[in-house]
Amino acid sequence: MEPNGILPLWKEPGMTSHDCVFRLRKILRTKKVGHTGTLDPQVDGVLPICLGRSTKVAEYITDQGKTYEAEVLIGFSTETEDAEGAVVARDTSEKTITRKQLEAVLKSLTGEIQQIPPMYSAVKVDGRKLYEYARKGQTVERPVRTVQIDSIELLGEADAWSGQNIRFRIRIRCGKGTYIRTLAVQIGEALGYPAHMSQLTRTQSGSFTQEQCVTLAEVEEIAQNGDIGSILQPLAYGLSAFPFEEIPADLLFGIKNGQVLEEHPALKAEPLVVFTYQGEPAALYKRHPDKPGKMKPEKMFGFPPTDEV
């Protein structure tokens, strides 16, 4: 039987997100596998994987907030903005940075901020990914993006850091599309020094946490024991950012058939509402973009096959 649900995977360093999907297809013997947001090969952390019909909710998990723990290195910058790239600028002076200075910089980078995506990234310009230009030694104008930084917490107890190269760790809660390596460079710029992100771990993705996660080796062992269902979260878990409403009797026929209907009160404050049938997600509705006071289906998840509505 094909597995259905969301697998909270702990991606280990050295693998791409696609590598993880490829391995899981083999382990679970299913083609319907999709990840919920790319992690660079050197980054480890939480990578929810959607299986079976739960692939329909992958985009909503991707859109939810993330939490990262990163190490920032002040002293030199790289072409990739992380530890993998060649050094492009270096400051060998003896530096001292106080906790007060650093916390002021982190506060200034909290909220809505502007970022320019790194050349070594998957952002597309004129139909090509930026890293494709970068690998050919080409530089193109990159779009400025607005991203949301909910909080940046300075980890550790030190009152000051000194040396030619200074390292410190931070915890970042942020929205979709944030580049933590670019944030590390921005922190360095605000302090007046070249910098890069020397290490990164994603500790939370949407409602999925590090404590829930399993490694590929653990997935393989659990699958061999025939107990894969024990580590899967239901499709509904991937929609937990939205309100849930059981379908009222008078809307049952209309929602089952994906009709445009009168707007549900829950959509006054939320962009989407999950309609459930017998407690299970059946349809995702949104405000109609062209018909005020109406709503239309965003995605249908289906009703039980024996249902007669």
- Residues 43-58 have pLDDT tens digits of 999 999 999 989 999 9
Q: How far is CA 37 from CA 61, 122, 189, in A?
A: 8, 12, 28
Q: How far is CA 109 from CA 24, 65, 69, in A?
A: 38, 17, 16
Tell me the pairing of strands 280-287 and 272-277: antiparallel
Closest CA relative to residue 43, chosen from 198, 248, 172, 221: 198
- Give the CA radius of gyration of the chain: 23
- Is residue 285, in this structure, part of any structural domain at all? yes
Same domain, 54 and 151: no
Instruction: State the pLDDT at residue 309.
Output: 47
Domain span including residue 56: 5-64+206-238
Is 82 catalytic? The answer is: no
Is pLDDT of 265 > 50?
yes
Same domain, 103 and 170: yes
Q: What is the CATH number of the domain that holds 263?
A: 2.30.130.10
Is pLDDT of 308 > 60?
no
Instruction: State the pLDDT at residue 305.
Output: 65
Instruction: State the pLDDT at residue 143.
Output: 82
Chain position carrying tokens 């973009």: 289
pLDDT band at 33 (very low <50, low <70, confident <90, very high): very high
Q: Which of 74-88, 98-112, 130-144 has the lowest mean pLDDT?
A: 130-144
Instruction: Please report how many Cα atoms fall inside a 13 Å half-sphere around the Cα of residue 150, on the Cβ side.
Output: 11
Enter the tokens of residue 201: 């771990």
Report the domain count for the chain: 3
Same domain, 81 and 178: yes
Same domain, 190 and 254: no
- Is residue 308, in this structure, part of any structural domain at all? no
Given 40, 227, 250, 290, which residue is catalytic? 40
In this prediction, residues 281-300 reach a mean pLDDT of 96
What is the 8-class DSSP label of residue 54? G
Q: What is the CATH number of the domain that holds 49?
A: 3.30.2350.10
Are 258 and 297 within 8 A, CB to CB?
A: yes
Chain position carrying tokens 């009222």: 248
